[in-house]
Amino acid sequence: MKSNNEMSVMNHLPNGKSNGEIRRPASRVWHPAERFLRAGFAGIAHAFAPCLTVMVAAAIAGMLASSVMAADDGTRTFKADKRFLIFPCSRGLGGKSNVIINVDGTPCMSLYDALVTASEPDHWRFFDLKLLQGKTLSVKIEGPDAAAIERVKLSDTIPGKVPVYQEPGRPQVHFSPSRGWFNDPCGMIYFEGKWHLYHALKPFYNANGYSNKAGNAWGHATSTDLLHWEEQPILMPPVEGKYCFWTGGAAVDVENTTGMGKPGKPAIVFAANNGLDKPNDFTQCVFVSTDGGMTVTHNPEMMYKPLPMENSRRGKDPRDPMIFWYAPEKKWVMVVFNEPPGGRYSFFFFESRDLKNWTETGVLDEMLECPNLFQMPVDGNKANMRWVIWGSETEYLIGQFNGKTFVPDDNRRLRAHYGQFSASQVFANAPGGRWVQMGWAHVCDYDAEFSQMASFPLDLDLRTTPGGLRLFANFIPELAQLRKDGSQQKDVVVKAGTPLQVGDVTQPAEIIAEFDPGSATQITFTGPELDINWNAASQELKVREVSLAAGKSEAGYWWKYRGEQIKLAPQNGRMTLHILLDIPSVEVVTSGGDYTIKGRDYRKLGAKSPMEIRTEGGDVKFSRLEIYPLKSIHTGK
């Protein structure tokens, strides 16, 4: 048994044998930045990201001749001199072993039910060392596959049977994590020329829900064009007994209330839910980034806030804190999902001047999970502003925020989003008066290298219609940058009973169809894993998932496909469907401003095959029919 102040390592020789054990007492060395954080911000801020805390065994730093060592308790130690630490993994939803990573002696990440394997790996998963170069990592695997530790290694690449992002079923025009489970977007923000997509991530797991004790992290990807995404190191890793991060939000600290910003370099404030990890499960936490959102620090006074404060009002699993700066009253506002005892799903509103002390100010009933609240102009008129709020189920309300709570214009629950889509956010601080939305697309339900993806970005605007104010969604115009040479046709007539075949819909493609339905009773767009139908009698559009996941039906999915028939009537005799096809998905935006997404089974796409347009009851004239094959955001081909 070794004392807590000793580090045990084994120097490995080229033949794989050790030349003995080295023991030296570990010493604590404070990094200048950490001294600043400890001294500043009320004198108690310190580095959250333990991966970046400098705790070194100074006495042995100069003695390590190799970047890999081992201890007799199964722990292996690595000197971070390559981009990744890679782990052998199997297929499946989850495993039975745990992965524990410390950095310079400080707990960094704890992953449970990990898909690591001591057998021949199906693929490799990784821990990104981009921000940890030169640090010392100790890694231990606990459980039936503990022997997998012998295969863990440093690498500048991710090995695999096929290159990363080119695996079967991989989305080619949507963001998906290179490895692990993706779900709720979290704290999306535009900052200093980059779009930051943070998202819930289980790096070594392929399922949602409560099935694993810990493992929820905030993944991070950045983009300059909303198309091509560069994955960054995990922003908030889970650590047993401390953190297990669920959904949250982000905002720029424009008034420097944290005192941590610099002239021309404001800080970013993040709010996150500490999910299942006890003893502080389902509390709300605030973090601050001073390096443009790459890492975060924490102040203990901001951590583990049980909102609402009163136990009698705290329901099951309060979570999903959305945060923003309310300039008219110079205060922070947080919106938290909660189900009070004996009550209804609700959004609770809180205010704070210092991000430490929070006061409840209001409640909005019958709202479920993942609150998003923002202000936007009506018909582009900044003199006529409204607030929009929604939850995970995509229903939204339009109204006003009075500084205390949301007051709807009326009680109508509206929808502009349908299908396998939830937990969406708009990017905070977006430039040019844009409201860019991304959500969790419930497709790519795989047991392989990754599972799930983000929806394609949408631009939102608020318009006046005969039925009142409505949100309208459109694919971002940047989509056109992915087009290859395609087909553009005008004034094409599709005769009843004589289908028209166009393009190839087995590969990513963009389709724009503008048409006058005339006397047609049905218009369908079909192909491999593609089924879009418009019905004249009901004035409804339906996009059907052709191949459902095993054992599931449309009525059985958790979102229940409520109202999946989208109301769509001709305007001035015309309608438009804007269709985006990817390997695992079909997305449609209508001329009525509605959006939907459904999954495709990539295994049934087959070889090159066209889309077929059919009409019943009358001829249909397409004033515009365009089909563009799309370049992969990963390969550019």
The closest alpha carbon to 101, from 117, 89, 84, belongs to: 84
Residue 55 confidence (pLDDT): 34
What's the pLDDT band for 10 if we cut at 50, 70, 90? very low
Mean pLDDT confidence for 467-472: 96
pLDDT at 552 over 80: no
Q: What per-residue confidence (pLDDT) applies to 67?
A: 66
Asked if residues 189 and 196 have their Cβ atoms less than 8 Å apart, the reply is yes
pLDDT above 90 as % of the chain? 76
Neighbours of 508 (CB within 10 A): 22
DSSP β-bridge partners for residue 190: 195
pLDDT at 243: 86
pLDDT tens digits along 487-530: 999 999 999 999 999 999 999 999 999 999 999 999 999 999 99
Q: Please enumerate in sequence order all residues whose Cβ is within 8 A of that of 566, keeping only pairs 6 or more positions apart, or say none.
A: 418, 540, 541, 542, 590, 592, 594, 596
pLDDT for 24: 30
Q: CA–CA separation, 469 vs 465, rounded Å?
A: 6
Residue 51 buriedness (CB in 10 A; 0-12 / 13-18 / 19+): buried
pLDDT attached to residue 303: 92
Kindly compute the dihedral angle of the four CA atoms of residues 10, 15, 16, 17, in this order, to the nearest 10 degrees: -50
535 neighbors 396 (Cβ within 8 angstroms): no
Q: What is the pLDDT of residue 242?
A: 85
| DSSP category for residue 109 | E
Alpha carbon distances (Å) from 629 to 223, 480, 588, 622: 22, 11, 16, 20
The ranges assigned to domains in the chain are 6-155, 180-475, 490-549+573-600+609-629
pLDDT tens by residue, 356-381? 999 999 999 999 999 999 999 999 99
Mean pLDDT of 260-283: 92
pLDDT category, 549, cuts 50, 70, 90?
low
- Torsion angle, alpha carbons of 524, 525, 528, 531, to 10: -50
Distance CA 455, CA 425 (A): 11
For tokens 């998003």, what's the residue?
372
Q: Are 442 and 599 in contact (CB under 8 A)?
A: yes
How much is the pTM? 0.89
The CATH fold assigned to 490-549+573-600+609-629 is Jelly Rolls (2.60.120)
Residue 399 pLDDT > 60: yes
CATH architecture for residues 180-475: 5 Propeller (2.115)
Could you tell me which of 51, 82, 67, 59 has the C-alpha nearest to residue 10? 67
Count of CB atoms situated within 10 Å of the CB of 540:
16
* pLDDT value at 6 more than 50: no
Could you report the per-residue pLDDT of 111-124, keeping only the tens digit for each? Answer: 999 999 999 999 99
Q: Yes or no: say if 285 and 274 are a contact pair by the CB < 8 Å rule.
A: yes
Return d(Cα 443, Cα 510) in angstroms, integer: 19
The Cα angle at residue 207 between residues 202 and 211, in degrees rounded to 5: 95
Question: What residues contact 427, with CB distance under 8 A and at least 6 apart?
Answer: 188, 189, 190, 195, 434, 435, 436, 438
Q: Which amino acid is at 231?
A: E
Average pLDDT over residues 387-404: 96
pLDDT of residue 34: 38
Q: Is 416 helix (H, G, I), strand (E, B) or coil?
A: coil
The per-residue pLDDT for range 205-239, each reduced to its tens digit, is 998 864 446 589 999 999 999 999 999 999 999 99
